[in-house]
Structure formats: C-alpha cells, structure tokens
Structure 1
Amino acid sequence: MRNFTSDTAKKILANEINVETLLTQYPEYKQEVLNELRVLKSNHESNIVQAIIDKYTASAKMAKNKIMKSGMNETTVNAFLPHIIKARFAIYLLEQLNTAVAAANASDKNVKFNLWDGMILQKLLFRKGFERKPVSLGLFRLGWKLVMHKKILMPLVNQKGIYCFYSKPLIGELAKLIGGKSCLEIAAGDGTLTKFLNEKNVGCKATDDYSWQHYISYPEFVEKADAKTALHKYKPEVVLCSWPVPKNPYEKHVFQTGSVDMYIVIGTRNPAYTGDFDAYNNNGKFTMELNERLSSLIVPPSPENAVYIFRRIQK
C-alpha cells in the first residue's frame, strides 16, 4: 500500500496534479486500471463506455467522502486515495481511446475526403490547413448540401482537437453578450474562440492547462494555466468554455468564483459527451438557460448542439 503525504493527498483531491504527472508517479495504478478495463470491456452492455465512466466516478465519489469524513486520517487516505487516482486514469484513458478509435475507423475504411469534399470544406471552414475561420452560415448551408461524406468530418477533425466550428452570427451574438466585461476562456485548446472574439474587439483571455498537447498545438497567446488558477488570477466577469470534458474537475470552480456574473458553455445536451452537469444543476448561485437560437448557430448543425448561459442570481 502506498503512503501519501497530507500535501500530496490534498493536491490530488483538489485536482491540482494533472493526469500525465499522476501516470508517471503511480504507474502501478495505471496497470490496474488497464486490467480492469479489459475485464469490463468483455461485458456486452450496449453503452459500455458510459457504464465504465459511471463505475469509476461512483468509486471516486465514495472514496472522497470516506477521506473527508475521516478528517484526512492517514490510514483512510492511504486506503481510498488510489480509487480517486484510478478514476482519473480510467476517464483519461477512455478519452484517448475514443480519439484513437475515431482515427482507426477512418484509417481502416480508407476514409478520407475526396477532392470535391475537401475543396468545399476547406473553403467553408478553414483559413489554411486546420486553422478555423468564422463560418458564413449562408455559404455553409449552400456548400454543406454539396458535401458527399458529411459524417466523416468530425471524426477526422477531432484528431486535431476540433469539436465544432463557430459561425459568424454565433461569434457576433457572443460578442454582444460579453460587451465590455472582462472575459476569460478556460480549457481553451488552440484558442480559436478567443481569437475570433478578439477580432470582434472583445477583450478575452485564453487559458488551458496544456493537458492535451499530445495532439493540440497550443499557440503562444493561450496561457498555460488550469482553470482554478486562471480564475483566481484574472477574476473575470464572464467565463467561456467550449466542449468541456464530460464530468470534468474544473467547471465547478467557475461557480465558486465571486467575480463571475455570466458563464457561457458551448457543447452538447448529452452529459456523456460534454460538461459537468452535476455542477450545472447543483451550483445554487446561477440560473441555467439552454439557448436554442445560439445552439442553432454552431456548425455543423446537430440536434445535440447546445449553448448554455448561466447568470448569477442577484440577491
């Protein structure tokens, strides 16, 4: 059994140590998780990935409750902290697997855009290479009808850390919502959303903990900082997050930051794909609105697309 120092335990409980560091420090738990995943994968349950996530999430919550109730008792910490570490490993590994599977499926089927589709999508969605541009909805609606293999777009661009495209009307509406307020984007990835808003003269700062640098190229203007640190440093009035990881450890800090009056999330309606819905539904300090009009401005169109606007309840 591992013996954890009090300081290490507190940092792990607060998610202040990134997963890559934990994988290096506790390789034995990674192997345990891999063995458990192999066993669970043999289960023929239809939604096995979500079942695995639910299992590890429940285990982590139970372990955290035990530790907190014990008052950080050393024996209890040593017994239950590994459950929390393993849960973080499992969810991280499943995220990597999901990306790898999408890439493998495309490769196995020799899926790639033909010259026609590639030419249309490059014109509609990108400035150059994989650098996104604000999308003209009128042109997109016309061009999208001409694309033959629509379903392979997102699996292919997911490998570059791209989960959606932002239309010009969406950027304009977000700029109006933010106005002259101080703005921070957390988990910003390559910073595309912040860059588009800055082009609209919105003063927004992009931050990310760089935990996805294995396949996202972070530009210099995206500051390396986890959400909690960035929120404390900048004390923003408005916070943005696009495609937050499901059941993530960082969105809860937005609702706990006193300076924040508005939080805007771009993602999906399905908790299995994006967002910390526990924090959304139980924060107690903000109203929650699913804005259908803004949701319809995300590209490509999907009934799953969602823009949530949280506003602080004024006393």
Structure 2
Amino acid sequence: MRNFTSDTAKKILANEINVETLLTQYPEYKQEVLDELRVLKSNHESNIVQAIIDKYTASAKMAKNKIMKSGMNETTVNAFLPHIIKARFAIYLLEQLNTAAAANASDKNVKFNLWDGMILQKLLFRKGFERKPVSLGLFRLGWKLVMHKKILMPLVNQKGIYCFYSKPLIGELAKLIGGKSCLEIAAGDGTLTKFLIGKNVGCKATDDYSWQHYISYPEFVEKADAKTALHKYNPEVVLCSWPVPKNPYEKHVFQTGSVDMYIVIGTRNPAYTGDFDAYNNNGKFTMELNERLSSLIVPPSPENAVYIFRRIQK
C-alpha cells in the first residue's frame, strides 16, 4: 500500500496535479486500470464507455467521501486515494483511445479529397488549423458540396477541435456578456476568447495545459486550473466550450460567489460533455438549454447544445 503525504493527498483531491504527472508517479495504478478495462470490455456491454465512466466516477466519489469524513485520517487516505487516482487514469485513457480510434478510422477509410479540403479550408480556417468565425450563409452553401462530411470532426478532434463558432453565435455571446468581467475555463487554444475579444468583450482564457499532447497553447491562454482561475479573477461571467464529461472542475463555477452567469457550449449527451451532476444539483442557478444558440454551432447537429446558467437572485 502506498503512503501519501497530507500535502500530496490534498493536491490530488483538489485536482491540482495533472494526469501526466500522476501517471509518472504511480505507474502501478495505470497497469491496474488497464487490467480492469480489459475485464470490463470482455463483458460486451452495449454502452461500454458509459459503463466504465460510471464505474470509476462512482468509485472516486465514494473514496472522496470516505477521506473527507475521516478528516484526512492517514490510514483512510492511503486506502482510498488510489481509487481517485485510478478514476482519473481511466477517463484520461478513454480520451486517448477515443482520439486514436477516430484517427485510425479516418486513416483506414477515407481522407478529404482535394475538393472537400479546399471547401472546408475556405469555410472554417484562416490557415492550417487556425479557426475563424464561420459565416453561416457561406457554410450552409459550401457544406452541401462536401462529399465526406462524417470525417471532419474525427480529423479535427486530433487537434483539440470539437466545434466551430459561427459569426452569429459569437455576436450573441458578446451581447449576453456585455461589459461584465468574463473568464473562459478549460479554454484549449483560446479560440472562443479570441473571437470574443474581437467583439470588444473583456475575456480571459485559462487552461491547466493537461491536453498538451493534442493542443498547442498560445501565450495568451494562461496556465491555471479552473479553481485557481476563478479564485484569481472573480469573474461575473464564465464560459466553457466542450467540457470533459463528468469533469472535476465545473462544480467550482457554481461555488464562486462572483459568478452571475455560466455559459456552456457542448452537447446534450452527458457521456460526451459536461458535469451534469453539477448542472442539475447546484441549487443556486437556473439552467436553460438555449435552442437558438445551439443551432448556431457548426457543423449542425441535433446533439449541439448551449446551456445558460443564471444565478437565482434572492
């Protein structure tokens, strides 16, 4: 059994140590997770990914409750902290496998032909993989001409891109935020913040840099986990685009007293984005699925979702 110092345990519980560091420090838990994943996969459950997420999330919650109730008792910490580490490993490994699978599927089946590549480059990017605000009119016209639509997102997912922002969406978000102080958490390459700054919105982009294996972080994206950033900037409005499913950071938004509005861009499916436990049980904010804003995400999908949380005034 590992012996954890009190300081290490507190950092792990607060999600202040990134997964790559934990993998280096506790390789034996990675092997345990891999062995457990093989066993779970052999059960041939229809929704194996969701089953794995549910298993490890429940295990981590139980472990955290045990540790907190014990008052950080050393024996309890040593017994249950590995469950939390293993849960983080499992989610991380699933993300890697999902990206690898998408890449392999694209390589084995079909890549964009010159025609599709030319159209999509014109519609979605300034240069390379640098996104631009998308003209909905041009997109609707050009999208009809793309032959292999289904491989767009698997290909760009490898670059940490999960959606494209239309010009009307950026404009509507700018109106919602107005002159309020704004913070984007888990900002990735900072594209959303950059577009909003172009609309004269005072927004700060932050990310914990835990996705360096996928994303090249520009200098204007400050390296900070969500909890630290929220405490540092005390924003009135918070943004998050495509938050990791059942993540450990969105709950801190609802616990930050300065926040009046939280805007999430993602999907309707808890298996793909968002901490829906925090969404549904925060008790301090109303929750609205804005259909109009959801329709302004590119490419179009019935799964696209923009959620707006507003603090309940007492």
What is the TM-score normalised by the length of structure 2? 0.98
Residues 15-53 of structure 1: CA deviation (Å, up to 9, x unaligned): 111111111111111111111111111121111011011
- Per-residue deviation at 1:109? 2.1
SS for the counterpart of 1:265 is strand
Within 5 A, what are the aligned runs for 1:143-158? 143-158=142-157
Provide the C-alpha distance between the structure 1 equivalents of 2:159 and 2:297, rounded to a whole number of angstroms. Answer: 18
Distance in structure 1 (CA, Å) of the matches to 2:214 and 2:170: 25
Which secondary structure state, in structure 1, belongs to the residue aligned with residue 183 of structure 2? strand
1:150-179 Cα deviation digits (max 9, x unpaired): 100000000000000000000000000000
User: What is the distance in 2 between the residues matched to 1:106 and 1:79?
Assistant: 40
Displacement of 1:105 after TM fit? 3.1
**Alpha carbons 2:103, 2:154 under 8 Å: kept:** no
Q: For the residues of structure 1 that align with 2:235 and 2:196, how far apart are their CA atoms? A: 15
Shift of 1:110: 4.1
**Distance in 1 (alpha carbons) for counterparts of 2:176 and 2:44:** 46
CA distance, structure 1, for counterparts of residue 132 and residue 150 of structure 2: 20
Question: Partners of 1:130 and 1:141 in 2: how far apart?
Answer: 20
Q: 1:107 to 1:135 in 2, by over 3 A?
A: closer
In the aligned structure 2, how far is the partner of 1:65 from the partner of 1:242? 29
Deviates more, 1:77-86 or 1:293-302: 77-86
2:241 is equivalent to residue 242 of structure 1: yes
- CA–CA distance in 2 between the matches of 1:107 and 1:82? 36
CA contact (8 A) 1:132 1:165 kept: yes
CA contact (8 A) 2:103 2:155 kept: no
Deviation at 1:108, TM superposition (A): 4.4
CA distance in 2, matches of 1:107, 1:235: 42
Which deviates the most, 19-28 or 159-168?
A: 19-28
Q: 3-state DSSP class of the match of 2:7? A: helix
Q: Tell me if the contact between 1:106 and 1:156 (Cα under 8 Å) persists in the aligned partners.
A: no
Q: How does 1:59-208 map to 2 (within 5 A)?
A: 59-100=59-100, 102-208=101-207
Shift of 1:244: 0.3
Secondary structure of 1:271's match?
coil
Aligned pairs, how many? Answer: 314
Q: Deviations over 1:198-240 (max 9, x none)?
A: 0111111100000001110111111111111111111111000
CA distance in 2, matches of 1:230, 1:70: 29
The answer to whether the Cα contact below 8 Å between 1:106 and 1:112 also exists between their aligned partners in 2 is no
How far has the Cα of 1:57 moved from its partner?
A: 0.8
SS at structure 2 position matched to 1:221: coil
**Range that drifts further, 58-67 or 196-205:** 58-67
2:63/2:81 contact within 8 Å kept: yes
Q: How many angstroms does 1:106 deviate by?
A: 3.1
Q: How far apart in 2 are the matches of 1:261 and 1:288?
A: 12
Q: Which runs of 5+ in 1 are unaligned?
A: none
Q: Which runs of 5+ in 2 are unaligned?
A: none
- Matched residues in 2 for 1:303 and 1:47: separation? 20
- Contact in 2 for aligned 1:262/1:309 (Cα 8 Å): yes
Offset, 1:143: 0.7
In structure 1, what is the equivalent of residue 291 of structure 2? 292
- On the 8 A contact 2:174/2:196 being kept in 1, the answer is yes
Cα distance in 2, alignment partners of residues 250 and 157 from structure 1: 24
Question: Matches of 1:303 and 1:200 in 2, distance apart?
Answer: 28
SS at match of 1:163: coil
SS in 2 for 1:263: strand
Give yes or no for contact 2:207–2:226 (8 Å, CA) kept in 1. Answer: yes
RMSD (CA atoms): 1.0
Match of 2:265 in 1: 266
Conserved in 1, the CA contact under 8 Å of 2:178 and 2:201? yes
How far has the Cα of 1:141 moved from its partner? 0.6
Bigger CA drift: 15-24 or 220-229? 15-24
Identity percentage of aligned residues: 99
For residue 103 of structure 1, report the CA deviation from its aligned partner: 3.8
Deviation at 1:67, TM superposition (A): 1.4
Deviation at 1:8, TM superposition (A): 1.3
